[in-house]
Amino acid sequence: MKQLIQVKINGRTYQEEVEPRVLLSFFLREQVGLTGTHVGCVVGECGACSVLLEGRLVKSCLVLAVRTDQKEITTVEGLAKEGTLHPIQEAFVEHYALQCGFCTSGMVLAGHHLLTQNPDAGEEEIRQKLAGNLCMCTGYTQIVNAVGSAAKAYKK
Amino acid sequence: MLHGIVLRSTYPHARILDVDAQAALEFPGVVAVVTPELVKQRTHPFKPGRYAAGLKTPIPEYATAIDRVRYLGEPIAMLAARSPSIAEDALELIRVEYDPLPTVVDPWKAMESSAPLLFEELGSNVAWKGAVSYGDVEEAFKSADQVVRENLRTHRYSSTPLEPLACLASFDNVSHSLNVWCNGQNPEVVYDALGEALSLEDYRVVIPDIGGGFGQKIHLIRKYIVLTSLMALHTERPVKWIEDRSEHMLAAGQSCGMDFEVEAAVKKDGTVLGLSIKEVDDVGGSVSTLTIHFTNKLNNLFSTYKVKNLRLEGRSVVTNKCPVVPNRGIGKPSMCFIWERIMDRIAEALGMSPAEVRSVNLVQPDEFPYSAPNGNIYDSGDYPELLKRALKNIEFEKVKSEQEKAREKGRYVGVGVVVGLEPGGRNAARDMAIFPDAKEMPGAGGVEGATLKLKRNGTVTVVLGAPSCGQFHETTTSQVVAEVLGVSPEQIHVESSWDSGLSPWGIASSNTGNNFHLYDIGAVHGAALQLREKVLKLAAHVLEISPEKLTIEEGIVSSNESPGKSVTFKRLGKVAYGNQSDIPEELEAGLHTTYYYKFPHAEPFLLPDTQGRVRAQFTFSAAAHAAVVEVDVETGRVQVLRYVIISDNGTILNPGVVDGQIYGSVAHGISVALGEGFVYDSEGQLLTLTLTDCSKASTMETPKVEIEHYQVPSPFSVLGQKAAGEGAAIPSPAAIASAIEDALQPFGVKARELPLSSEVIWRLLNR
């Protein structure tokens, strides 16, 4: 039995009928068509599917879509504004902080979430806060550097 | 579109008595099930490739198991339904009747005469046995002052791209044409598999930008591409299949578990006269990649050392485990592990320092190009300088002097310094070196093209011959084109999809074997030179100036002599494609060119000779790695305190890209050394089904790495460039092992095996 949910994604409101068992990650990709959220493991290990739910960083493969009724979600598509990359995305490009790109949307959102909370985060804290996101290509160095360099954009 | 899902074996070894899909087919939304029966009826087995050439008796291998499964997760059937969730639900309704067979997991047990056989027709689980030998090994051991022996072991792991295997197939039954989109790294494997298995003539393969490969998407993926395509043929509807994570861990392929008995013939001064290695490869439950880990050792068989005599004997043993596939350096990390571990052991035996023993044996800078005894020709390098700088940067003497004081306080710190090669540009004929009587030499040499076009709007399109896996191929190639052509990189678009019908591909067109630096760069460089000629000719005609008097900058062709006399690429695009009356008859129409780069051009050793000498790869990057570790002797936990790399990748075209490859590959090598990998129980059950169980390193486990570049350009490549890809995964396990052994020297612990996980170290300490 499908349920009707209303959810605000990247500032836009969607009313969608969804099966109770559908995971948020698949809802975003297959039903809403936001394929920037990647699915690397479906069990909350890799972090490629990370999104912001009510401002909290969550792995969308661990959330049922029906639980997001009346809630607000930001996916990676919500970061760039009017065709201009968000400063954290710019920093990833600048620092070669991505290779195959599969983990990138989750990494970018994890970095964005951290810097929103603490724009003064140092390398240790950046490493700690990105530990829930796995990358098989980069060895993390350039990702950590990118997040560190994006911090200035978050300081008011 | 239909969604495919694969039914997999729940037994590591069993006969399949029956596959009954009736109940699944009756489930609403299910469209079809491809059973082993249909697979056998409608497809042909894959032709044995160069890695199965050693089989005495051919073993037909299809996309699925037919009447027997030999590893957990082996594909048996595919079901297609209208949605992925229907497919998942219905899969459980397919009933497979198994007759479980005894399993054999340990390759040494598999070699015993009482072991259950995986392939009765082979008469043994030793599916291949052979050797390569260079120089006079017997004489080397006769002349030795001492023989140093060691047994070593490396384990099963995988580079595990985050994007799983995937395929989408669509068949038109009127034109009988098949279109396939997939993420296979090696187009040749995919293309040949479809042709062979489905007997198709009209088919097209598209490989969009791949989400990581590392070798993992070369071989076994062909099974799923054929299976998905068969489903599309069978249902006459488009079918999509995406592997999930646990399927990947179970059945997408693992590196080979390898055991080595090593003997080194040495002189008192540390000179290594010869090496003898006996290897046992645990190749898992398939014979399709039987010798792949053995022959890949030919790439760095002599590593950085000028040793003249070496014998490598191998046995490939089938077991009830996942089949083996390449990943990040395949075979080469183990070959480097052998060399570097035995060097440390020789140092110990002769009372020399590890660096001294290496120095005595390193190929010297004035010996390049250096011909290794097995046919490899090392293009350039300065190995002593790499070693010297590594010792300096890691502050070797300081660490050693502090080591004593730390030990007094109960802290166990150690340092390891190793040297390794990173060969680049593969020669697939290499694999036939172990089959001197082979009539067919598949895939010799290296050829790949690039297509460049200056378009009607004045911008430039680049089509590469090989697919892209996330190593910034687009960035680096557009940089080269920009430089040669005189246009800004922003005006260049590199196609990121590979297309069997459009891409200029050759034998080297594969995102494997460190091919990019040699072939893609060689091809775009050549194509850009050709296009530049064409642009100049057309501009010369438009400006009525001779081409020699023109320069190109930022997409504008200008006269050297008359300032202000110029024409833009945009204008030239309009002229070239817009108005034939503007183009004189002698000028070729269009601003379009395809150039095929070839290397090497001829002998020596493009093909293996009767002594098995062959140029296995064509350029040779090198690096010295130095690690400082601290071992907690209570728990066995290892912390990497410092990690230093001095890397020679030839002329660096883009430092950010090269650094990224080094950071990535060293992180994996270190993770593998410290515990990442696959574990099976004695029944053939995989205990590491998830990324966490497999101990994948996060930001917290990955140490900081300090890179220094020392560039020795290659005289063989167009811009002096050498490989930068899997490189740092090759010496890093050896560096970590060396440092751990040094730290645990007071306990007499020897680092003979990988992984050196906390558990393994704890056991070694508490033996």
Digits of tens for pLDDT over chain A (156 positions)? 899 999 999 999 999 999 999 999 999 999 999 999 999 999 999 999 999 999 999 999 999 999 999 999 999 999 999 999 999 999 999 999 999 999 999 999 999 999 999 999 999 999 999 999 999 999 999 999 999 999 999 997
- Residue-wise pLDDT for B571-600, tens only, equals 999 999 988 887 888 888 899 999 999 988
| Å between B276 CA and nearest CA of chain A | 35
User: Are residues B660 and A46, on separate chains, in Cβ contact within 8 Å?
Assistant: no
| Å between A107 CA and nearest CA of chain B | 11
Report chain B residues whose CB lies below 8 A from the CB of A137.
212, 470, 660, 664
Report chain B residues whose CB lies below 8 A from the CB of A148.
none
Alpha-helical (H) ranges within B441-515 are: 473-485
* pLDDT over threshold 90, residue B428: no
A1 at interface of B, judged by CB pairs closer than 8 A: no
Locate the DSSP E strands across B518-637. 550-553, 556-559, 566-568, 592-598, 617-631
What chain A residue is nearest to B726 in terms of C-alpha separation? A137
Mean pLDDT of B709-730: 97
A64 at interface of B, judged by CB pairs closer than 8 A: no
3-state secondary structure of A91: helix
Residues 674-713 of B with CB under 8 A from A: 690-692, 696, 698-700, 702, 704-705
Residues 5-34 of A with CB under 8 A from B: 19, 21-22, 26, 30
The answer to whether B512 and B189 are in contact (CB under 8 A) is no
Q: What is the DSSP string of A69-85?
A: TT-EEE-GGGTSBTTB-
| Å between A7 CA and nearest CA of chain B | 22
User: Are residues A42 and B244, on separate chains, in Cβ contact within 8 Å?
Assistant: yes
Angle between helix B473-485 and helix B516-543 axes, rounded to 10 deg: 30
* pLDDT over threshold 80, residue B439: no
Report chain B residues whose CB lies below 8 A from the CB of A43.
245, 690
B210 at interface of A, judged by CB pairs closer than 8 A: yes
The answer to whether B515 and B508 are in contact (CB under 8 A) is yes
B40 at interface of A, judged by CB pairs closer than 8 A: no
B207 at interface of A, judged by CB pairs closer than 8 A: no
Report chain A residues whose CB lies below 8 A from the CB of B659.
96, 141-142
Complex prediction ipTM: 0.98
Top residue of B82, B89, B162 to mutate, by most chain A CBs within 10 Å, is B162
Tokens matching residue B98: 């198994």
Which of B162, B210, B214 lies closest to A46 in CB terms? B162
User: Are residues A46 and B211, on separate chains, in Cβ contact within 8 Å?
Assistant: no
**Phi and psi angles of residue B643, each rounded to the nearest 5 degrees, phi first:** -145, 120
Top residue of B5, B474, B698, B699 to mutate, by most chain A CBs within 10 Å, is B699
The residue among B658, B675, B695, B654 whose CA lies nearest residue B759 is B675
Alpha-helical (H) ranges within B612-731 are: 655-673
Report chain A residues whose CB lies below 8 A from the CB of B84.
26, 30
Residue with the bigger pLDDT between B732 and B605: it is B732
Report chain A residues whose CB lies below 8 A from the CB of B703.
none
Q: What is the CA radius of gyration of chain A?
A: 15
What chain B residue is nearest to A19 in terms of C-alpha separation? B85
Report chain A residues whose CB lies below 8 A from the CB of B699.
126-128, 130-131, 133, 140, 143-144
Report chain A residues whose CB lies below 8 A from the CB of B216.
none
What chain A residue is nearest to B210 in terms of C-alpha separation? A100
Tokens matching residue A117: 């909370």
DSSP character at residue B607: S
Query: Residue B312: beta bridge partners?
Result: B132, B277
The residue among A19, A89, A98 whose CA lies nearest residue B663 is A98
| Å between B248 CA and nearest CA of chain A | 10
- Confidence class of residue B602 from pLDDT cuts 50, 70 and 90? low
- Confidence class of residue B52 from pLDDT cuts 50, 70 and 90? confident
* pLDDT over threshold 80, residue B603: no
Alpha-helical (H) ranges within B217-257 are: 221-235, 245-251
Q: Which residues lie closer than 8 Å to B381 by C-beta, 6 or more apart? A: B304, B363, B365, B368, B620, B622, B648, B712
User: Are residues A142 and B699, on separate chains, in Cβ contact within 8 Å?
Assistant: no
- Among B13-17, B182-186, B438-442, B716-720, which stretch is predicted with the lowest mean pLDDT? B438-442
* pLDDT over threshold 80, residue B145: yes
What chain A residue is nearest to B473 in terms of C-alpha separation? A99
CA distances A127 to A51, A137, B315, B659, B680, Å, are: 19, 16, 43, 19, 32
Measured CA to CA, the distance from residue B18 to residue B66 in angstroms comes to 10
Q: Is B677 exposed, middle or buried (0-12, 13-18, 19+ CB in 10 A)?
A: buried
Give the rounded distance of the alpha carbon of B5 from its chain centre: 27
User: Are residues B690 and A45, on separate chains, in Cβ contact within 8 Å?
Assistant: yes
Tokens matching residue A144: 């950590």
- Residue-wise pLDDT for B318-369, tens only, equals 999 999 999 999 999 999 999 999 999 999 999 999 999 999 999 999 999 9
Measured CA to CA, the distance from residue B414 to residue B396 in angstroms comes to 10
User: Are residues A48 and B699, on separate chains, in Cβ contact within 8 Å?
Assistant: no
User: Are residues B667 and A139, on separate chains, in Cβ contact within 8 Å?
Assistant: yes
Report the 3 state secondary structure along A19-67: CCCCEHHHHHHHHCCCCCCCCCCCCCCCCCCEEEECCEEEEHHHCEHHH
Size of interface A-B (CB pairs under 8 A): 118
Report chain A residues whose CB lies below 8 A from the CB of B657.
96
User: Are residues A38 and B660, on separate chains, in Cβ contact within 8 Å?
Assistant: no
Tokens matching residue B628: 């400082």
The answer to whether B110 and B319 are in contact (CB under 8 A) is yes
What chain B residue is nearest to A107 in terms of C-alpha separation? B699
The answer to whether B267 and B308 are in contact (CB under 8 A) is no
Q: Which residues lie closer than 8 Å to A13 by C-beta, 6 or more apart? A: A6, A7
- Residue-wise pLDDT for B109-141, tens only, equals 999 999 999 999 999 999 999 999 999 999 999
| Å between A148 CA and nearest CA of chain B | 14
Query: Residue B104: beta bridge partners?
Result: none
| Å between B615 CA and nearest CA of chain A | 29
Tokens matching residue B132: 């390569």
What chain A residue is nearest to B214 in terms of C-alpha separation? A137
* pLDDT over threshold 70, residue B766: yes
A138 at interface of B, judged by CB pairs closer than 8 A: yes
| Å between A54 CA and nearest CA of chain B | 26
User: Are residues A100 and B161, on separate chains, in Cβ contact within 8 Å?
Assistant: yes
The answer to whether B696 and B667 are in contact (CB under 8 A) is no
User: Are residues B162 and A134, on separate chains, in Cβ contact within 8 Å?
Assistant: yes
Which of A130, A137, A139 lies closest to B666 in CB terms? A139
Q: Are strands B239-242 and B166-172 parallel, antiparallel or unpaired?
A: antiparallel
| Å between B32 CA and nearest CA of chain A | 22
Top residue of B244, B698, B726 to mutate, by most chain A CBs within 10 Å, is B698
What chain B residue is nearest to A139 in terms of C-alpha separation? B664
Locate the DSSP E strands across B135-256. 146-154, 166-172, 177-182, 203-207, 239-242
The residue among B132, B138, B133 whose CA lies nearest residue B273 is B138
Mean pLDDT of B272-284: 98
Residue with the two structure tokens 């082993």: B36
B589 at interface of A, judged by CB pairs closer than 8 A: no
Residues 75-134 of A with CB under 8 A from B: 95-96, 98-103, 126-128, 130-134
Q: What is the pLDDT, as a whole number, of residue B326?
A: 94
* pLDDT over threshold 80, residue B436: no
Query: Residue B169: beta bridge partners?
Result: B180, B239
Query: Residue B239: beta bridge partners?
Result: B2, B169
User: Are residues B656 and A142, on separate chains, in Cβ contact within 8 Å?
Assistant: yes
**Phi and psi angles of residue B493, each rounded to the nearest 5 degrees, phi first:** -115, 125
Q: What is the pLDDT, as a whole number, of residue B442?
A: 72
- Residue B510, sorted as left (phi over 0), alpha (psi -120 to 50) or beta, turns out to be beta
